[in-house]
Amino acid sequence: MDAIKNKLEIINGAEFLIKESSTQDTFTPEDFSEEQKMIQDTVHDFNKSEIYPQTAKIEKQENNIAATLLEKFGALGLLGTHMPEEYGGMDMDFNTNTIIGEAVGPSGSFSVAYNAHTGIGMLPILYFGTDAQKEKYLPGLVTGELKASYCLTEPSSGSDALSAKANAVLSEDGKHYILNGQKMWITNAGFADIFTIFVQVDGNKFTGFIVERGLEGLSFGEEEAKLGIKGSSTRMVFMENVKVSVDNLLGEIGKGHHIAFNVLNTGRFKLGASVLGGSKMATQVSIAYANERQQFKTPISQFGAIQHKIAEMGIQNFISESALYRTSHFINEKIKDLKESGESYSGAKLKAAEEYALECSIIKILGSEVLDYCVDEGVQIHGGMGYSEEGVIARAYRDSRINRIFEGTNEINRMVIMSTILKRAMKGQLDIVTPALAVQSELQNQTTDTRTFEEPYGLQKQSVANFKKVLLMILGSAAKLSMEGKLDLKKEQELLMNMADIVIDIFSVESAVIRASKIKENNTEKVATEIYSDLVNIITYEASHRIYKNALDAISSFVSEDKQGDFVTGFRVFTKYPLQNVKKLRRNIAGAMITEGDYCF
């Protein structure tokens, strides 16, 4: 038998669609080192001592408290864990920074300030700044003495960022650029010292500049009255003949899109890490309430309807967590490889994030939608108390909603997923033609895949391989029609959304199965129960139905009726999965969480 062998190499971005991953090329929470656990505990302790007791003050933005908290976080070295030592950073690996990002997640509005400062605030300078710019700004940003902000969105340009109207012209003496225009929804604007601002130079050259607070002509609107994340400073930024030194040009004239889009890759990933922390918190407080609240002389956690919700929280958190740390490891190892090949510190980080842009979009979508589920059902479990501001779940519900809009809407990120696949296929970086033809041959000749997938979870691994065939059937046909000029994919967003959701399901299920396999292979104490078998069974089973539905919706939108039958037959074959007693599986999963009083996988 040809068994799928464990591979030591890390697959490239999007290659999970055409290759199998092994337990050896993934990272899971079970792999955290003692040092990483200590760092995680440090962040949790900061939340308990500095954030939670001051939630009311943070929500009201009293005494510029977010800025003060950033300084305290910086004093612990936690604003520079992803920065080079030469600028005062701690240069921790990407996996450790992911752990920190997740641990910050339960801090609510503070996590927004933190992510804006350390991500889209600092990274443009690290990735694209000159040596002089890095030396001038990064040390202060690492300590928290300086705070960062990122100015991209305008009243008339959100997802279409390159249509920005803010502009800049070179002064007559050639020493300054004169900036005019406005930006909106700018996080940290109320207290930031350093702004990365994108404008059109000479009307049509999208360009970034480092702009310091206090420059004449730079002003700010009032704090926005927002649905959630009320403790996060959000203001408009106005530029009226702001003179910015030519030394503060960031990158090259007309190349601002390279800065904006590449920084957003990491920003999306960081958001995915933080929302996982928020999801776990919402799950924990919901279980605690369900265990305490009694109706009919029984804790409501003992009722099947509530157990269903708790179990689903656990299932979705397990998926999100597994996918997050798998992607983290991809990026972590790519950074190492690039450095070993001679790439610079900043270049390695930039190129690694760019390589896994698709996966970063998945993490952002997945994490934000899991959080939305957890806080929504958390309110439902709390009942009337969930609608009260006395507890944390009402605030969590309001805070959550922005995450599906932040860092590119989830709809835009689904488009990013598909455009990345298609672009890499056209460039020959991702061979989808060969496996697509193999699937076509398999169906036409009624042959079966003879590969044997190693246990544990061989059935689930086989299912993941089959799910990939479903995508290849759709993708191959759509791409062929597109190349023939018979299908304009840019105008078929519904079709792209169907395919993107299949991609997300494939990555999610595979990540969960790989993690469960690793737990069992390593014979850790977690293997004492069959809970991981329950998890991967229900995850794979339910994904099979979603993929089948998305596949049908996809082909019905562009395949003629006389040819749809072959597709449907293939979809049925490749999404077949044994019937599962989902009630029993969910009760087992909920029971473990209720006993533990928390998400415990």
What would the DSSP string read from start to end of 249-275? EES-TT-HHHHHHHHHHHHHHHHHHHH
Please tell me whether residues 124 and 37 are part of one structural domain. Answer: yes
CA dist., res. 266 & res. 94, Å (int) = 11
Q: List the one residue out of 28, 23, 26 whose CA is nearest residue 455.
A: 23
- For the question of residue 407 being annotated catalytic, the response is yes
Using the 3D structure, point to which of 126, 146, 166 is the last residue of a domain. Answer: 146
Q: For residue 449, tell me if it sits in a domain.
A: yes
Please tell me whether residues 399 and 447 are part of one structural domain. Answer: no
- Beta strands at 234-245 and 249-250: parallel, antiparallel or unpaired: unpaired
Q: Which residues of the chain carry a pLDDT beneath 50?
A: 1-7
The number of folded domains in the chain is 3
CA dist., res. 440 & res. 417, Å (int) = 24
Q: For residue 266, tell me if it sits in a domain.
A: yes
Residue type at 70 in one-letter notation:
L
Structural domain including 514 reads 432-596
Please tell me whether residues 404 and 447 are part of one structural domain. Answer: no
Tell me the pTM. 0.95
Please tell me whether residues 553 and 508 are part of one structural domain. Answer: yes
Q: For residue 399, tell me if it sits in a domain.
A: yes
Please tell me whether residues 582 and 438 are part of one structural domain. Answer: yes
pLDDT reported for residue 403: 97
CATH code of 574's domain: 1.20.140.10
**412-453 pLDDT, tens digit each:** 999 999 999 999 999 999 999 899 889 988 888 776 666 678
Q: For residue 201, tell me if it sits in a domain.
A: no
Please tell me whether residues 345 and 453 are part of one structural domain. Answer: no
pLDDT reported for residue 527: 55
Which structure tokens are listed for 117?
A: 């400062």
Please tell me whether residues 400 and 445 are part of one structural domain. Answer: no
Using the 3D structure, point to which of 146, 169, 200 is the last residue of a domain. Answer: 146
Please tell me whether residues 519 and 396 are part of one structural domain. Answer: no
Please tell me whether residues 504 and 553 are part of one structural domain. Answer: yes
- Residue 491 near residue 409, CB atoms below 8 Å: no
Please tell me whether residues 371 and 443 are part of one structural domain. Answer: no
Q: For residue 535, tell me if it sits in a domain.
A: yes
- Beta strands at 167-170 and 194-201: parallel, antiparallel or unpaired: parallel
Q: For residue 246, tell me if it sits in a domain.
A: no
Using the 3D structure, point to which of 101, 128, 146 is the last residue of a domain. Answer: 146
Set 59, 321, 369, 407: catalytic member: 407
Q: For residue 459, tell me if it sits in a domain.
A: yes
Task: Report the alpha-carbon angle 513-519-521, nearest 5.
Answer: 95
Please tell me whether residues 553 and 444 are part of one structural domain. Answer: yes
Q: For residue 416, tell me if it sits in a domain.
A: no
CATH code of 49's domain: 1.10.540.10
CA dist., res. 547 & res. 470, Å (int) = 8
Task: Report the alpha-carbon angle 422-427-432, nearest 5.
Answer: 55
Q: How many CB atoms lie within 10 A of CB 595?
A: 12
Please tell me whether residues 495 and 558 are part of one structural domain. Answer: yes
